[in-house]
Structure 1
């Protein structure tokens, strides 16, 4: 006598897969999403979650296959176009990625995520002005989320438009007090504007909770150097070097603000 096993419910498998994702176990999740699709090949939820998981695992071509399948079933799915574009960009297919972002936007003109991701891609392509235009659209569409405003600040910083960049990071920090990257970059822009005492206060605020953050320690060392607080600057620089010797020594040797220390034996020993 032959007994047939009970077919597992795809929705149960998807639920279990999501639980694995929440535990940061994407490979286990992928097995379950694949199993759900074996039982229901056109399950859009399983296809979407499998594609996202494949992107997370950097299996971009397989992810594109999932998103293409969704588009085949449902041509007006902006999520599928957006996430396909992310995979295409990671594979170096920037033209394809931009086309997919445009399709996401054409499908839903208020889809902020596609504007944001397209802006990030323009920035990666060093098309900074175009990036700013697109990021402004993302900000208008979803002003509550800090990601587009934060990234706009990053782009403005690259263009040496430091007052505008500072304005972005101040807004991010004010509206999202737990956004430490926004606070850190606020300090960086204050330093770029020569407001080193204010920058140090910002870095100290971060270091109260994250005392071992090497980037913040190094940034504070730079501002202390600019303030001619030599001993404090060198002590901070020493702390940073102890945590990431190769990187921090390279940065310090190239940093103009530390040129004033070139005759200081302590500095020379640290960065040699």
Structure 2
């Protein structure tokens, strides 16, 4: 239920009400005062106090339709839908032209996933309402629930026509355009909207994002600059402008944009990370490292920060420092597959193969089924002499990549290593049939096998058959 913003009179009513609760003295409030008090508590998430105010309000004003509608709202919030529905039926008999009765009925239907029925009631509410934008927005949301993005878009557009400051409607319109993959149409719509509302920072910001989708970087940059002209404290516009400047390789200007955001609000880990990346591109490793460090200090849960600082040392071939930071990252989030991939790669570079194998195994357990991960783990298991584990590993890989010569050559070599010549021959023939050029795998990993006469014969026969 929509009420006017609080004023001094509302504040006095609220103070009197809270004083009454503390002293247990019963004071009289008119019904409008109760409505304002309840609305305040609902807006601030104080449900227990809202319920208390509703109960006391109805004791003093038992015939108030609006107070009963607040009671309905609270029943719906607590998922007491049947009780709310019955109360609305009673109110409907008294006041059939009250928009709020239709809106709350629609709310109940929506919660029961009866979105088309909810739309019918909202359209009835629209006939009685003085606040058409709100009802159109609710209709748009019901269409979104139905994944009917075209009708959702139309209703949000109508909503925005009624209230050009309703930015939630604007965001929803753009969401519909994006889902429908209508980027050019979204750009046209935003440009028409901006002709009427040239200082709408949100519209300029959204226009920039649409231009970025079609890689029109200079147009995106201009849009973000207009967003900043419209609101010079719009952090999102500065961040997006910085990203475009990075795309254009204008790193000093990007740093300046990100730096401005640090002065407007508490530092964001994203801005610190991007500044580090820009300094790295400019070859200033000292400042790059400084900002990567600030980034992980600001937000230890931002994986991109830990990855940036780890990759920084990895590129410098300072693998022990890279390992130090990825260990810290894993201690914070042991379920992050990107951390384990790096942990494995770094340990492999350090020739700490047992730790590397653990890293690759953990990467696979977390669902990273890239072929390279399976193959690298197999090669490490071979180095460790764990032939059976290596065979199990590539057999699992074969379920995902059944026509991989790289897997088949490894299986061939492993079976020959285990003196399982029949299985070895089977996989060797398979591998040669799939891609004979990968025979180099045998040469590099299992060179002794090439000395076997039976292996020489299989390769020779394959070459003959291929001529």
Residue-pair matches, total: 255
Aligned counterpart, 1:243: 368
The one of 144, 148, 163 equivalent to 2:286 is: 163
Aligned counterpart, 1:229: 352
Structure 1 40/213 Cα, relative in aligned 2: closer, same or farther at 3 Å?
closer
- The reply on whether 1:90 has 2:213 as its aligned counterpart is yes
TM-score by length of 2: 0.46
1:149-169 deviation digits (Å, cap 9, x = unpaired): 222223334445443223222
Query: Which sits farther off after the overlay, 200-209 or 164-173?
Result: 200-209
- The reply on whether 1:35 has 2:155 as its aligned counterpart is yes
Larger radius of gyration: 2
- The reply on whether 1:68 has 2:188 as its aligned counterpart is no
The one of 124, 131, 134 equivalent to 1:6 is: 124
1:190 touches 1:199 (CA, 8 Å); kept in 2?
yes
After the TM superposition, which residues 1-272 of structure 1 pair with which residues of structure 2 at under 5 Å, given as runs? Answer: 6=124, 8=126, 9-14=132-137, 27=147, 31-38=151-158, 41-44=161-164, 45=166, 47-54=169-176, 56-57=178-179, 58-208=181-331, 210-237=333-360, 240=363, 243-246=368-371
Q: Distance in 1 between matches of 2:278 and 2:307?
A: 15
1:72-129 deviation digits (Å, cap 9, x = unpaired): 2321111111110110121122222122122122222332222211111122233334
Structure 1 111/209 Cα, relative in aligned 2: closer, same or farther at 3 Å?
closer
| Structure 2, unaligned runs of 5 or more | 1-122, 127-131, 391-405, 412-437, 442-467
1:237 shift after superposition: 3.8
1:54 touches 1:60 (CA, 8 Å); kept in 2?
no
1:173 shift after superposition: 2.0
1:238 shift after superposition: 5.6
Structure 1 63/42 Cα, relative in aligned 2: closer, same or farther at 3 Å?
farther
Aligned counterpart, 1:257: none
1:19 shift after superposition: 8.9
Q: Distance in 2 between matches of 1:28 and 1:80?
A: 23
Q: Distance in 1 between matches of 2:196 and 2:162?
A: 8
Q: Distance in 1 between matches of 2:219 and 2:133?
A: 32
Structure 1 173/210 Cα, relative in aligned 2: closer, same or farther at 3 Å?
closer
2:156 touches 2:170 (CA, 8 Å); kept in 1?
no
| Structure 1, unaligned runs of 5 or more | 253-260
Q: Distance in 1 between matches of 2:157 and 2:176?
A: 14
Query: Which sits farther off after the overlay, 74-83 or 175-184?
Result: 175-184
1:219 shift after superposition: 1.1
1:8-31 deviation digits (Å, cap 9, x = unpaired): 34313425756998xxx6945774
Q: Distance in 1 between matches of 2:199 and 2:305?
A: 35
1:39 shift after superposition: 6.0
When the two chains are superposed, the root-mean-square deviation of aligned CA atoms in Å is 3.9
TM-score by length of 1: 0.73
Structure 1 144/127 Cα, relative in aligned 2: closer, same or farther at 3 Å?
closer
Q: Distance in 2 between matches of 1:160 and 1:139?
A: 22
Which stretches of structure 1, 4 residues or more, deviate above 6 A after TM superposition?
18-21, 265-268
Aligned counterpart, 2:97: none
1:243 shift after superposition: 2.3
1:240 shift after superposition: 4.1
Structure 1 77/39 Cα, relative in aligned 2: closer, same or farther at 3 Å?
closer
2:258 touches 2:271 (CA, 8 Å); kept in 1?
yes
Give 3-state SS (helix, strand or coil) of 1:84's partner.
helix
Q: Distance in 1 between matches of 2:283 and 2:177?
A: 33
Q: Distance in 2 between matches of 1:214 and 1:233?
A: 14
1:54 touches 1:63 (CA, 8 Å); kept in 2?
no
